[in-house]
Structure 1
Amino acid sequence: MAISRPILIALIAALLALAAFYATSGARQSSEAPSAPAPAAPERSASPTKSAPPARAKAREPGSRRGGDGSAKPPRSPAKRRPAVAVPTGMPAGVRRALAGKRTVVLFFSQRGSADDAATARAVASLRGRRGVQVFSAPISRLADYQAVIGGVGVTQAPSVVIVGRDRAARLIEGFVDAETLAQQVADAR
């Protein structure tokens, strides 16, 4: 049984297309992984915490309890706390507070004079006041101030919107974006 040349060529082309698809989808998945910012080396909580009461200098003797039955209860172990999430330092204080408060952060980088920037600024402004979302705007020249948050994202142009979810994964949208699309991206990042 012989296969005609056009069918053979079509099968080979389909196999090559399938191989190319798998090769590029694997590369896309591995390139998305480092987009989350790395945690800072020392874990410090950005929110002010109450300091623990000072430890007593002397431990009580087992028999010196008031009641005096001689039996002492073993000291209670402190309640297990969840480790504080590392919030990167080296960024504006408002962004640091928003990340520590587990809010979705929207960073808008723009350059004056562009129609795309003005339209995207209106779309970003529509997010202000939403529950659980904090919006920050800055000129593209101040991009270095935010490197602790957006280091692995790769902002290359203005306007750019970076959405940092509660899980600290950052998403980049470059160029014009309308209010509805931006609202959906923020909802997806939550």
Structure 2
Amino acid sequence: MPINHNRESRFKRLSSKLKEKGIITVGAKIPSWLKGNWNINEFILVPEHPLSKLLIEQVQRVDHGGVESTLARLQSKYWIPRARKMIKAIKGKYTVCRNQDKCIGIKFLGQLPAECMAPLYFYTSLDLFGLFQVRDTVEHRVRRKVYGVVFARLSSRPVHLELAKGYDTESSVKRIVNIILSSL
């Protein structure tokens, strides 16, 4: 039997073990925590054998699922090396699978209205809120009191938040200038 002679090199990564009547099984070195969920007696099928192809076709016909779901169902009883490649080839034969795998056409966005393309400060509302205590980014022990400033663009409704040092006109103007300069 040619499979038994090159079993060591061919199925080395699968930790294969040769049982009676020349049956090759998978998972001789499976960890104990996995053995409860793993079928230790699952055996390796040679990918070139027609039985492997028939088993994959049978599992695929159940629900015409994706490659991974078909592979998971298949590996609950059998182990076929390079099964993903075979499943992809078999999926290409079924019309149902080809239709499910078709890409939906790419949708392009329409042109934005002129109001949305106007500079940020043309249609914007401003609101100051709260008094928050924040930690300084440079001097970590220092805490400062700040106000939140909300800039809401009226045309497309995005919101931008800033922090102002005070509730006075100078702090508000600095925040407005900052947002105008950042939008240029």
For Structure 1 versus Structure 2, the TM-score category normalised by the shorter chain is under 0.3
Q: If the length of structure 1 is used for normalisation, what is the TM-score?
A: 0.19
Greater strand share, 1 or 2?
A: 2
Q: If the length of structure 2 is used for normalisation, what is the TM-score?
A: 0.19
- Higher relative contact order by CA 8 Å / sep ≥ 6: 1 or 2? 1
Bigger radius of gyration: 2
